[in-house]
Structure 1
Amino acid sequence: MCRTDQSVPEPGEEHDVDATDAVFTSLLEDSAEELYDQAPCGYLSTLMDGTIAKINTTLLNWLGLGRSQVVGRMRFADLLTVGGKLYHETHFAPLLQMKGEVSGIALDIRAAGGRMPVLVTSKVKTSEDDQPLLIRTTVFDARDRRAYEAELLRGRKAAEEARRQSEADRARLQEALAVLQQSLLPTALPVVPGLEADSYYHTASPDLLGGDFYDLFPVDGGRWAFFLGDVCGKGPQAAAVTSLARYTLRAAALHDADPVTVLTTLNTVLHERYASGEGRYCTAIFGVFEPADGHVSVHLASGGHPSALIQRADGSADYLPTPGGLLVGVLPQAPFAAARTDLLPGDTLLLYTDGLTEARTGPERQLYGDDALRAFAADQPPAGPQALIAALSGLLASFGDGLDDDTALLALGVPAPLPTPASENLT
């Protein structure tokens, strides 16, 4: 029979509904109590002084205690380890009293199997007139979380140890690379009668061997040879080419110091050595200077290298053009451009690799360029190679991360005459 909610109940139906409600309420109460007692987390209620008034079976099982041992006989703090009890008294309880609720506090309880990590949440229940009545506490098993945190800690420690080891390995590698890099350069420039010389090498990356090189050494008849070059690429392969180029240039100069002949010999050696595999080549300037009356005669040749720059004693600066020179080692036969000049007292000849002029500067990261280098040299007082190299090393440092290539500098100059003392002028 169909009826609406407003229909009149049949006789006896009210009794049936009341009976059903009573059974349903009883089941709810039983279910709630069972859920409380067998819940996957611990529950307990305490008086305001911490005395336990009610505790569920789950928490009792963790503790390995009977209900009669706990209810009315122990306080919540008694369930904690010594460290947990200390933290409860100094932090947990005062915070609960002040805020009325604390959540997710990590503590350790004295469980049946030993110390057991838990997360504790407590809340003060109050009366209608806001008077504290009791404290209800939930205790969550944190053993899995603690194991996870321990594993994370072990992983973090392992990662930190790996990082320290990596840094130590990198430091050793950089030290070894620095030693190897130095072996590709002269330990110190020789003292040349009637000439001043200075050099500088900037390493763009301590983790990679650079390919820039230079040298200064005697040949025959009072003449001295010098060279500066730049091998294509970086790393061990570039270092091998650097070593081969440096010693080939020295050996060739001792046989015949003509600059074009020396570069031709280097070109033949590099091309024959690397023609069958990945091509290896370099740019280079090789020159010879010979002291003469009141000046030094310079004869040099270039293979695809930036032109040498001369800072004159009168404060001017300009390039010594060497156009048309081809990269060394690209072709079996290559033309090389030669040039001559005289260095007078106070003049300085500067050789450099393109890391200097190809540095990026300013907000727009523009190339530094040849014109800027010439202007910089002209702005420096003509005080000799050491002063010019010092100024240029400061310039390189000012480029910061705009200088992303190794840079070698070699400066050769004729000392300016010392000023005559005033007393001698009077006589």
Structure 2
Amino acid sequence: MCRTGQHPGPHEADDDKAPGATFAALLEDSAEELYESAPCGYLSTLMDGTIAKINGTLLTWLGLEREALVGRMRFADLLTMGGKLYHETHFAPLLRMQGEISGIALEIRRSDGRMPVLVSSVVKHGSTGEPLLIRTTLFDARDRRAYEEELLRGRKAAEEARKQAEADRIRLEDALAVLQQSLLPDILPRIPGVESAAYYHTAHPDRLGGDFYDVFPIDAERFGFFLGDVCGKGPQAAAVTSLTRYTLRAAALHDPDPVSALSTLNKAFHERYAGGSGDPRYCTAVFGTIEPDHDTGQVTVHLASGGHPPAIVVRAEGASGFLHTPGGLLVGIVPSAHFVTATTVLAPGDTLLLYTDGITEARTSQDRTSLFGGEALLAFAAEQSGKPAPAVIQALTGLLHSFGDGLDDDTALLALGVPARTPRP
């Protein structure tokens, strides 16, 4: 509208004409033109599927002339072989029953290949309710197909990556198992008058543990044994475990006294890891000697402990208890560590049990907050009274497995027992 007493400016006149020009253009845009040039394909068919009307967009997609289709072909003839089969067996029967169907993914045939489309159809009824014709709309689904194919490729790539990761994990676990086994004795030596058994439970197959044990001959009469737990996990702990095992073996051959053996190990730790190395290492350990008396059938055990949980003596008659070694320092903590000694005699039917803290620190309550503990282990061991060493270890193995995911640390077990005397007939 013009301002009073003023002529409209050139821009104001253009603004007034613009809405009118747009409205006029809309009036000139006929319904037929809209149908022909729509961004999707339209066609109308008789109830038997014969094409009666088709728009220019769909003709362009097909690369065909109108005269070749109208009255000559059915809608199903435009589909690929698989699409035609689906139309005859599923699409058409559902359409007859429901009167409409939408969003079905099919493919139409083109001169240069095939084209994915989403198809929706509706049945038009007459005034008396009889079906007259079918109106069908086809939407270009090429972008959607490309997205789905890309998504499928992504899923396949992810699945292949998952399979590769699983294969790598298995190979890693196998390699770690081999390395872990190399840090433990293949078999325990035969000791006259003594039965021995051991078990190593790996809580995490994908991670090297730091628990260790060994039994070996010192001389013609005595055997040495040790069991312990290196701080940390992984390759560094494995290196410390290797150092510990070979140092204790060498030390025992030079001087089998248990305190001397642990003191040598303590010195080796300080020479290797102390002195500002930035990687301090330590371990708990029990080292001992066993000396069978073939005349009495008894076995004398001398041992020293460096910060390790006390050994358990399971007596044949059931009076089991801890072989306490309080106050012994961890190996590697200080340059001159104090180690505590203990001595016991195993009679026929008795067993000495050594273990690492993985079993006593297993979480057993429903909320996984309570620990199994040393007293519970002592009670369980006492129930194995009179059994040979292999049977004791077998029972403890079952106990470990019963903890399930409550056992999150490796556990080493070593049992040394004197066979019970067989009564004479």
> What corresponds to 1:331 in structure 2?
334
Cα distance change on mapping 1:249 and 1:26 into 2, 3 Å: closer
1:26 positional shift: 11
> What corresponds to 1:289 in structure 2?
290
> What corresponds to 1:248 in structure 2?
247
Q: Are 1:218 and 2:221 matched, yes or no?
A: no
> What corresponds to 1:84 in structure 2?
83
Write the mapping of 1:332-371 to structure 2, written as runs, cut at 5 A.
332-365=335-368, 366-371=370-375
1:381 positional shift: 3.7
Where in structure 2 are there 5+ consecutive unaligned residues? 1-22
> What corresponds to 2:5 in structure 1?
none
1:192, 1:26 → 2: CA distance?
107
Map Cα deviations across residues 314-340 of structure 1 (whole Å, 9 max, x no partner). 012100000001110111111111011
> What corresponds to 1:320 in structure 2?
323
Q: Are 1:105 and 2:104 matched, yes or no?
A: yes
For the residue of structure 1 that corresponds to 2:133, the secondary structure is: strand
1:334, 1:26 → 2: CA distance?
100
For the residue of structure 2 that corresponds to 1:287, the secondary structure is: strand
1:402, 1:382 → 2: CA distance?
29
Match of 1:405 among 393, 396, 409: 409
CA RMSD of aligned residues (A): 1.5
Q: Are 1:385 and 1:412, in contact at CA under 8 Å, matched by a contact in 2? A: yes
Equivalenced residues, count: 398
- Aligned letter for 1:369? G
Structure 1 window deviating more from structure 2 (129-138 vs 321-330): it is 129-138
Q: Are 1:313 and 1:346, in contact at CA under 8 Å, matched by a contact in 2? A: yes
> What corresponds to 1:395 in structure 2?
399
2:343, 2:367 → 1: CA distance?
38
Write the mapping of 1:376-387 to structure 2, written as runs, cut at 5 A.
376-387=380-391
Cα distance change on mapping 1:25 and 1:93 into 2, 3 Å: farther
Q: Are 1:62 and 1:112, in contact at CA under 8 Å, matched by a contact in 2? A: no
Structure 1 window deviating more from structure 2 (127-136 vs 224-233): it is 127-136
For the residue of structure 2 that corresponds to 1:361, the secondary structure is: coil
For the residue of structure 2 that corresponds to 1:360, the secondary structure is: coil
2:220, 2:382 → 1: CA distance?
34
> What corresponds to 1:9 in structure 2?
none
Q: Are 1:161 and 2:160 matched, yes or no?
A: yes
- Aligned letter for 2:197? D
> What corresponds to 1:268 in structure 2?
267
- Aligned letter for 1:92? F
Map Cα deviations across residues 31-51 of structure 1 (whole Å, 9 max, x no partner). 322222111110111111111
1:174, 1:25 → 2: CA distance?
77
1:379, 1:191 → 2: CA distance?
26
For the residue of structure 2 that corresponds to 1:356, the secondary structure is: helix
1:27 positional shift: 5.9
TM-score w.r.t. length of structure 1: 0.91
Map Cα deviations across residues 253-276 of structure 1 (whole Å, 9 max, x no partner). 000000011000000101110112
1:30 positional shift: 4.3
Match of 2:310 among 292, 307, 314: 307
Match of 1:372 among 345, 366, 376: 376
Q: Are 1:199 and 1:410, in contact at CA under 8 Å, matched by a contact in 2? A: yes
Map Cα deviations across residues 125-165 of structure 1 (whole Å, 9 max, x no partner). 11232211111100011111111111111111111111111
> What corresponds to 1:21 in structure 2?
none
Cα distance change on mapping 1:28 and 1:98 into 2, 3 Å: farther
